[in-house]
Homo-oligomer: A and B are copies of this chain.
């Protein structure tokens, strides 16, 4: 081989992601612990609330070797389980997944658990263990497997099943990885805590290697509406996708293809689009040339009377759940939530939700409110500096205008849900700057902040009224005494004085809007001081 030659080779998807595991979040032994727990917990949640089941999730972390930093991480859920014939690929084949559908879920790339299995394999060599059963099955299935990295295929080491003795369904996944638990611990606890904030409808328990139990019990019975799979919206179309439809679906006519493949295209719309592209609605799709396909894409994308993408595929938290979560976490003096109307970018529907907590145990925001970021119910903990949401909170909202003078105990929770959250990387840590999304985030925060402003200005008004009332109330005993001296004789003095005090306190309370109790309290303390 000369210096002018190169060696070319193909790698399997498993080898690719094993080689470049840091792009999926497995950069070092600290991140690996965090990422492993996160991937398994998110799968557990996707198997439950996405299907209308209130989640019960249990995470157990155990030291698995006396000398080496090996940890066994087990996550158990009460979800829909995995069909036994699917288990090997679902855990042992990279780019095989249930997440490649148009529906909001925490998982998006279909990579997570496979990366966990690969990481276990490269650090401890121990296989993944899976126990699972679906609600309608009579048996529980058990697998022990690894990934053949070169072939990107699962290798089953053990498999078995047994009869159900109780009505259990769900999945238990157990892996053993090398990791730095001591340094990962605080991040993991933060992750579980933040997950619990938006899931007050879940039971989440964590058992640490130190045998500490962290438990977030269910506090509400409301569940977010589960998402429904939808057809793609025509605005998200590209030429490659249309070419693939035309080749692989076998429709007789262009018209049928359009009506059946997309949401929001009926007969009339289909005809209009096809004619605009200069084509015949009855044309056989697979006879189109590249130029005709391009004309069709342009006609589909430039048609401007579509309904916006259906939000049925989304599962927002809802204001009630956000408020319940923030209340449990921060016992705030004021809390509000805003669930914006559905919007869309490039044919992908999305909803922005904002929660705002103030006072109580809310942490102090220094130069901006504390920001909790969520995407499809996942908390985002890393890469805050490049996140669009943080930029909006910091640079686009004048908190002064909302009567917030920082530093102050104020926290903003922003939840973006979409069939396609524009993450900046497969590690899912920060959200890219999409104008449509940025706008909604800003409007959502402003709406929540207006609620806070109302509360704060009412609070200030009340405090001012209280002060005014106090200033007046102080003189009531003296006024009552003076009046009684003039108008009463010795016998009626006390009665008249009490009567005047009673009347005056009532009048002052009414005029200032301050409670009678408070005014009476002030009067009493003044009398006590004067030795009456």
Chain A positions near chain B (C-beta within 8 angstroms): 2-13, 16, 18-20, 22-23, 27, 51-52, 68, 80-82, 86, 89-90, 93, 95-98, 100-101, 108-110, 118, 121-126, 134-136, 149-150, 226, 238-241, 243-244, 248, 290, 293-294, 298, 383, 385-386, 422-427, 432
Contacts and interface: CB of A to CB of B under 8 A. Distances in A.
A81 B6 CA distance: 10
A97 B11 CA distance: 8
B4 A118 contact: no
A7 B385 CA distance: 37
A8 B121 CA distance: 24
B293 A125 contact: yes
A427 B386 CA distance: 15
Contacts of A241: 122
Contacts of A81: 4
A8 B150 CA distance: 22
A3 B226 contact: yes
B118 A10 contact: no
Contacts of A11: 95-97, 100, 110
Given A3-B226, A6-B80, A424-B425, A244 B98 contact: no
A23 B240 contact: no
A108 B96 CA distance: 24
A198 to B, nearest CB: 22
25 contacts: A4-B134, A8-B96, A8-B97, A8-B98, A9-B100, A10-B93, A11-B97, A11-B100, A16-B109, A19-B100, A20-B426, A22-B424, A22-B432, A23-B423, A27-B422, A121-B240, A122-B239, A122-B240, A124-B239, A124-B294, A125-B243, A125-B290, A125-B294, A425-B425, A425-B427
Contacts of A9: 96-98, 100
Given A4-B135, A16-B95, A238 B10 contact: no
A151 to B, nearest CB: 11
Contacts of A424: 22-23, 425
Nearest to A426: B23
Contacts of A294: 124-125
Given A3-B51, A95-B10, A121 B239 contact: yes
B100 A23 contact: no
Given A100-B9, A248-B150, A425-B23, A298 B68 contact: yes
Nearest to A240: B122
A6 B426 CA distance: 22
A20 B100 CA distance: 11
A143 B113 CA distance: 40
A199 B227 CA distance: 53
Nearest to A81: B4
A226 B150 CA distance: 30
A155 to B, nearest CB: 11
B89 A8 contact: yes
Given A18-B240, A385-B386, A426-B23, A136 B4 contact: yes
A422 B8 contact: no
Given A4-B51, A9-B100, A95-B13, A240 B149 contact: yes
A417 to B, nearest CB: 18
Contacts of A298: 68
Nearest to A18: B240
A68 B295 CA distance: 11
Contacts of A16: 13, 95, 109
B7 A101 contact: yes
Given A3-B226, A95-B13, A122 B238 contact: yes
Contacts of A290: 125-126
